[in-house]
Amino acid sequence: MDRITVSGVTLEIERGDIAAQDDIQAVVNAANAQLKTGGGVAGAIHRAAGPGLTEETRPLAPISPGEAVITGGHNLPNEYVIHCLGPVYGRDKPEDELLANCYKNALKRAEEEDVESIAFPAISTGAFGYPTEAAARVALSTIQEEAEHLESVNTIRFVLFGEDDYNIHQKVMEEIFE
């Protein structure tokens, strides 16, 4: 199972590059506190968006774990980028609550701009060290809770880079939504 509808919202799980989602209105950046380029998702997004994104994010930084801010997409194929700072696993606590806040706040920013489609990477599971399966449970159960309150958002996509990450998300989606 890689696609399901919950409370009228389509939830999709795909393998791919978060910086190459050309049919999605807002992509989520697994940002750093300074909202600068870096490795992983932040590097891919800033490279594809170009220097205009860094200029726009500079006055918005720093942000705290769980927070989300929205900017334009610049040279990305998306209208918006929503920058979320995930918790560093083992340092920022309670990590499950902070990670859930990322997803809630990203959806809040999206709804404020009447965004219909949004794509998330697996926030905190790279450099920030959050175990993928535990992070997937937090992410997907938060979306399950939020789905019924969404008005503009009708498509939520998880974009996973690696095959293992994709398989884990698929398994957790089946557990939560079966």
Residues in the site for ligand ADP, rule: CB under 6 A?
A: 17-19, 30, 39-42, 44, 86, 121-128, 159, 161-162, 165
Nearer to ligand ADP, 163 or 178 (CB): 163
User: By C-alpha distance, which of 14, 67, 24 is closest to 45?
Assistant: 24
Least distance (Å) from ligand ADP to the CB of residue 92? 11
* Dihedral sign from CA coordinates of 44, 50, 53, 54: positive
Counting beta carbons within 10 angstroms of the beta carbon of residue 96, is it exposed (0 to 12), middle (13 to 18) or buried (19 or more)? middle
Angle between the N-to-C axes of helices 132-147 and 95-112, in degrees from 0 to 180, rounded to the nearest 10: 40
In angstroms, give the least distance from the CB of 8 to ligand ADP.
26
Minimum distance of ligand ADP from residue 148's CB (angstroms): 27
Least distance between ligand ADP and beta carbon 61 (Å)? 15
Residue placing its CB nearer to ligand ADP in the complex, 117 or 124: 124
The whole-angstrom separation of Cα 122 and Cα 128 is 11
Nearer to ligand ADP, 31 or 115 (CB): 31
